[in-house]
Amino acid sequence: MSEDKIILDWQKGVFKPVYWLEGEEEYFIDKVMDYAEHQILTEAETGFNLTVFYGKDADWAAIINACRRYPMFSGKQVVLLKEAQQMRDLDKLETYIDKPLQSTIFVISYKEKKVDGRTKLAKTLKEKGVMLTTKKMYDSQLPEWTKELVEKKGFSISQKALRLVVDHIGNDLNRIENEIEKLSLNLGKRKNITEEDIEEYVGVSKDFNVFELQAALASRDIGKAIRIIQYFDANPKVAPIQLVLPSLYGFFSKVFMIYGVHSKDEKTISQALGVHAFFIKDYMKAAQAYTYSGVEKILLLLHNYNLKSVGINNVGTRDASLLKEMIVKMIA
């Protein structure tokens, strides 16, 4: 079951006695836990009917006793077990999960991994509980997810603004949501998020960022690429070389893959590369601007300059000088 379906059921007053939230993506687990803690019960009910345990310090017997209590002045109580992956004797909760109290809503977060499917606990959870299993979102899914998040809040976002947010923040869903929330509060009555808004409120230059550097290299615009690197040099926290090189390597690695896709169809190439269709034109443009051997050379240069950036075969050369030297060789 998805996190949205769980919360939608709760909003309709449909509750199951046990919910198990597991996996690598904390955002979806935290979203459900936060709703369970702050929205299921009214403020008046919470004082008597909400109990929160933390796995590292939790005692299994105390948890079961709390779950077996009957609610006071309410038709239900909520028991939360956070960070269950840190709890000793977690498997002893199986006896309660097998025969839970219907008036208790027991929600367990088990982050970073999944319950061992061979155990009795896992089998009982699948039979008696509601399970949410999460996994890290692929980079190719981030633009669509971010766009949907913006739309849920009643806003729209330009393609370039979307790219700036995704490229700058990466796979940190909590931070993406926080930045979108900050933007929504600052836009007033306006409903469209632009690249100027990202620059002002998120702190990412719309003209000088890794995305624009990739675009400059894709079109072999050495003047623009040099100007961007000079901006990076003057603002070292914006795009340190340790961020720039992996980003460029990821970009050109995908460009390299295009040569193996026997199609000119954007959708086909997008699926093959695992890149959202919004941005596939950038990769295709680079594939047209460079030859197969040219991109192969670029990947080798990126590897060599990554070594130089950590001091191998390099003594004291500034990061900006390394980047300038590298891009001249790339475009040449």
- Global pTM value: 0.77
Domain boundaries, the chain: 3-134, 139-202, 219-331
- The answer to whether domain 3-134 has CATH 3.20.20.105 is no
219-331 has the same fold as 139-202: no
Asked if 76 and 120 touch (Cβ cutoff 8 Å), the reply is no
**Distance between CA atoms of residues 30 and 32, nearest Å:** 5
Measured in whole angstroms, how far is the alpha carbon of residue 36 from the centre of its chain? 22
pLDDT in tens, 39-53: 999 999 999 999 999
**pLDDT per residue as tens digits for the range 229-268:** 999 999 888 889 998 999 999 999 999 999 999 888 888 9
CA distances from 282 to 179, 212, 308 (A): 25, 10, 28
CATH for 139-202, options being 1.10.8.60, 3.30.2400.10, 3.30.450.80, 3.40.1410.10 = 1.10.8.60
pLDDT for 171: 87
Write out residues in the chain with pLDDT < 50, as ranges. none
Fold of 219-331: Zinc Finger, Delta Prime; domain 3 (1.20.272)
Question: How far is it, in rounded angstroms, from Cα 332 to Cα 328?
Answer: 6
What are the angstrom distances between the C-alpha of 237 and each of 99, 134, 212? 55, 32, 17
- Please report which residue ranges of 158-291 form alpha helices under DSSP H: 159-169, 173-186, 195-197, 210-218, 222-234, 241-258, 266-273, 280-289
